[in-house]
Every structure is written in C-alpha cells, then in structure tokens.
Amino acid sequence: MAKIKCVMSYDGTNFSGLQIQTKQRTVQGELEKALAKIHKGAHVKVYPSGRTDKGVHAKAQAVHFESDYNLAPSDWKRALNTLLPPDIHVNETEEVPAEFHARFDVVEKEYRYYILNETEPDVFKQSYVYHYPYALDLVKMQEAGRYFEGTHDFTTFSSAKASAKGSKVRTLVEVSCHQHGSLLEFVLRGHGFLYNMVRIIVGTLLEVGRERLEPDEVRSLFDGKDRQLAGDTLPPQGLYLWNVRYEETDTSG
Amino acid sequence: MAKIKCVMSYDGTNFSGLQIQTKQRTVQGELEKALAKIHKGAHVKVYPSGRTDKGVHAKAQAVHFESDYNLAPSDWKRALNTLLPPDIHVNETEEVPAEFHARFDVVEKEYRYYILNETEPDVFKQSYVYHYPYALDLVKMQEAGRYFEGTHDFTTFSSAKASAKGSKVRTLVEVSCHQHGSLLEFVLRGHGFLYNMVRIIVGTLLEVGRERLEPDEVRSLFDGKDRQLAGDTLPPQGLYLWNVRYEETDTSG
C-alpha cells in the first residue's frame, strides 16, 4: 500500500462543502468517485486536513488516501485531473510515509478572506468575494487584528454550533489586513481554527473598520466568552483555505 | 409612456443565454420578471441590443423598455437591482427619446475574449476565461488580427447556422490582441457581428498563434467563403459583450 498526499484547489460555489454527504455534491464525494474509477470500482477513502463549508473555496487543501494501484506518485495528479470535474484541480501529488495523516499532522493552516469594498457589486465576483459597500478604516482593522494574534480562548469567536466539548483555546500567528485597490485581503494563520472562527473574526474586524468597535475593545470580547459579543459570521464566498503546512512540506505553490 | 434605456452586466454562467425561452433561465426572462413585479404583474417587453449565447457574459449590455410607471429615470436602476438576481446588475438607467431602439440604433459593439494561457487551469476562472495551455506567438496573432479589420464578407467566419438570408458583409474597426501576464485579451469592435463570428475569429487567431496558419493566409480564408477553412468556434465562457455604442451615448463606465 502506498500513501499518497494530494494538494488541490476547488471552487466551492457548487459544492455542499468538502465532507461527503448522501445525495449532495461534495468535494470528497467527487474525489472518491474519481478514485473508485481508477480502482475498478473499489472504494478508496479520502482523509482531508479538515472540512470546508458549502460555498467556501480552497487554494491548497491537502488530503491523503491509500492505494495499492501501481502508479508513479507524480502520475496520480494527471490521472485524477482527467477524472475530476473542472471545479476541482489537483495541484500536486506525492508519496508520503505510512505514518503521515493529512488531518493530525497539520502544523499550520492559512485562511484568507476577500472583501470587495466598492459601492457597486461585481457580477463576475459574486461567488468569489464578499461585497461590502461601506467605508472601512483599514488602519483600525489592522490594529484590531493584532489583538487576535497569540494564544486565546476563542469561545466568543466561534459558532455556538461548535462542539461543546474540548478546549476553545487556539493560537493564531497572523491576523492581518491588506488593501489591493478595492479588494481587502484578510490573512489568518494558526495552528487550528474553531467552527466559523475565521468568518466571525473578520466580521468583528468589519465592526472595527466601521468604527462601531474600538480595536482595543477586542480584548474585552475575549473575556466575555459570549458569541453574541462578536460581529456577524460573514458569508462563505469570500473565504479560502489558502494553505496547509506540515513538517518539512508545504502545500502552496 | 417613458422609454428607458438600461445598461447591465451579467455573469452568463447560469443563464441559457439572453433571449427569453420557456422553462429556461434567461437574462431577458429575469429582467421581464423584475419589471412585471414593478408593474403589478403587467408584462413589459425588453428589447436588447442583440442576443448573447448560453455561458456568454456581458460587461455592458444595453436594452430598452417602455413604462407608464412614474419613476425618476435614475430610480429605475435601484428598483431593478433590488429585484434582480445577483448575477445581473444594472449599471445605469436613463430616459431616452421615443424613437430610440436598443437594437436598431447600435453604432458599434465591442466584444472581448479572454484566454488563460497557462499550463495549469485555474478552478476559480473556469467560467470566466478559456484555458488554453499551448504556447502562442502573440506578434503573429496581432499581425493576423489586422487582416480582419475593414469591410469583408465574413461567411468563412460565421456559423453555418447563421441565417442564409442577408449579406455576410460586415465592417470591423478593431481586432487586437493584448497580453496581461498569462491572460490574453482579444478586443473586437465593429458595426455588426454574425452568429459565432467573434468566437470563430479568435479561434482562427489561435491557429495563427500556434503557427499552423500564417497571418497573411487569413486573406485567402476570406476568399474561400467556407466555414470549414477557419479555426474552431471557441467556448462561450471567454466571451464578453463589452460595450454597445449609440449616437452620443456610450454604455461603458
């Protein structure tokens, strides 16, 4: 048995998320369907680095699977891309040691969130950015981002639907905000993320950008441990799983 | 009765083209549905500058309609955008003279065709550019473009499905090709276009770009008056109706 690590991009628009579900079109479902074709109908289970929700995109999602099919590691890429639909693309495949696990071995994940900060929406970007027409104070959002960096209990900034069990303490190494013309880019990097955490943090940064919340007030929101204190959960189409890092390997590029 | 001219963008991905068809989702259908809501259910017919095919986009399509609904010309924009789906956006509305006709008064149309000239496809652009992975000679394509400019019989470069009746003579004022990194932009401007003409001309330019056809051979293709001589009809997702010009008015911007 060879263990194959596979890094892929997908346009989340027409998927009901990554995780396989009966009667829904999912990324995992399409991948397992392609792998079954390669394996003469035999089921091959795919293990992702983590889930992404309906409408959320991936620039470099990582998964692993095991196979006894005799294919050079680099040929997996071509074989899968031939069978996958055009909204999933395998960027690279490599053989990894038997101990490798796409979920448990993650060292760091990077998410990005894109906002189109213009008065008029752009019909060609409606599924790829969140259109937000109000004026935003970039400097204040950048300042507020720094209050999210470091190790904190992120209860306030995770969905109430998140599992009640387990620690809500996570470590973020970067929460930054960059302007490219009318496009705002939020970069969040960390060891792990709770359910909806990126979308709620960026939603809270928009509250700061609109001057409804001061940057240093973020501190007291953490202390409150109450989801109601934070900003809205932003919609999925602006969110991208940008990169998943493992020891001595990197899914980007 | 006021006559309203309306300029709009649409993402053609999820439309069966512009023209209304029963049981299909069309741009005209969505517009007339929105207008019926404004007019308490009464049908208001929309007249476009021309059709676009399934999957073809518009950056600035122009239409007109007549209404006795008492609304300031600029308020039509807001009223329509509130009712239209997110893949259609009205950029501007204005009252025009009763003699104005969106189709018959066109002075010039501009189309653009976008090609992603990279080895790897981009999942986020699959509905917005045509992915073409082969090396292309830009200078030769630019040279060949000039042979399409001027007044010609475009029989060779129009679909065999185009109406047999009527002249196939058209005048193009610009057929140019520009490179922006790995994105190739083809700009075609002219007084009128035959069915599939833009997609066949760009398909022929790709033959030149791949050096399967010399730029000056385009001349003999015109003389042959045979669709079989020209290149492929390129797929719809790279094509944009970019602008429609009328006397003293311009739909762009």
Pairing of strands B2-10, B88-96: antiparallel
**What residue has token string 């809270």?**
A204
B56: tokens are 């073809």
Q: Are B153 and B169 within 8 A, CB to CB?
A: yes
B238: tokens are 């790279």
**Which domains, ranges and CATH numbers included, belong to chain B?**
2-103 (3.30.70.580), 108-244 (3.30.70.660)
Contacts of B89 in chain A (CB under 8 A): 120-123
Residues A120, B47, B84, B78: what is their CA dihedral angle, to the nearest 10 degrees?
50
Residues of B with a catalytic annotation lie at: 53
Q: How far apart are CA B130 and CA A208, in angstroms?
A: 40
Neighbours of B251 (CB within 10 A): 25
Catalytic residue list contains A53: yes
Q: Are B216 and B147 within 8 A, CB to CB?
A: yes
Neighbours of B50 (CB within 10 A): 16
- The runs of H, that is alpha helices, within B97-226 are 138-148, 197-209, 218-224
* Mean pLDDT per 10-residue segment, chain B (253 residues): 96 96 95 96 96 97 95 91 97 96 97 97 97 98 98 94 81 98 98 95 98 96 93 97 85 51
pLDDT value of position A250? 53
pLDDT value of position A253? 44
Please compute, for residue A179, the number of CA atoms within 13 A of its CA located in the half-sphere on the CB side: 13
Note whether A9 contacts B123, CB cutoff 8 Å.
yes
ipTM value, please give it: 0.90
Nearest to B89 among A10, A86, A121 (CB): A121
Residue A128 marked as a ligand binder: no
Picking from B181, B188, B173, the residue whose alpha carbon sits closest to that of residue B240 is: B188
Q: How far apart are CA B53 and CA B19, in angstroms?
A: 8
Q: Are A251 and A60 within 8 A, CB to CB?
A: yes
pLDDT value of position B253? 44
Note whether A89 contacts B120, CB cutoff 8 Å.
yes
Q: Could you tell me which residues are beta bridge partners of residue A246?
A: A249
Interface contact A118, partner B, CB < 8 A: no
Q: What b-and-e string marks burial along A34-61, b requiring 16 or more CB atoms within 10 Å of the CB?
A: bbeebeeeeebebbbbbbbbebbbbbbb
Q: How far is A58 from chain B (nearest CA, A)?
A: 10
Picking from B227, B235, B169, B243, the residue whose alpha carbon sits closest to that of residue B202 is: B235
- Sequence-distant (≥ 6) Cβ neighbours of residue A14 within 8 angstroms: A25, A87
pLDDT value of position A143? 98
Q: How far apart are CA A119 and CA A140, in angstroms?
A: 21
Pairing of strands A57-67, A130-131: unpaired
Q: Could you tell me which residues are beta bridge partners of residue B14?
A: none
User: Which one of A82, A119, A120, A124 would you mutate to disrupt binding with B, by most B Cβ within 10 Å of its Cβ?
Assistant: A124
pLDDT value of position A162? 66
B180: tokens are 């922006």
Note whether A121 contacts B57, CB cutoff 8 Å.
no
**Residues 6 to 25 of A: which have CB under 8 A from any B CB?**
9-11
Task: Identify the segments of chain A with pLDDT beneath 50.
Answer: 253
Residue of B nearest to A121 (CA): B89
Q: Is A5 helix (H, G, I), strand (E, B) or coil?
A: strand
CA–CA distances in Å: residue B83 to residues A119, A218, B55, B79: 18, 38, 22, 7
Nearest to B89 among A9, A86, A123 (CB): A123
Contacts of A89 in chain B (CB under 8 A): 120-123
Q: Is A147 helix (H, G, I), strand (E, B) or coil?
A: helix
Q: Are B12 and B57 within 8 A, CB to CB?
A: yes
CA–CA distances in Å: residue A39 to residues A66, A92, A238: 11, 20, 36
Q: Are B224 and B92 within 8 A, CB to CB?
A: no
pLDDT value of position A247? 86
Nearest to B123 among A88, A123, A126 (CB): A88
Picking from A184, A177, A175, the residue whose alpha carbon sits closest to that of residue A135 is: A184
The torsion angles phi and psi of A156, rounded to 5 degrees, stand at -60, -30
pLDDT value of position B249? 52
Q: How far apart are CA B250 and CA B248, in angstroms?
A: 7
- Sequence-distant (≥ 6) Cβ neighbours of residue A116 within 8 angstroms: A122, A125, A129, A130, A131, A132, A182, A183, A184
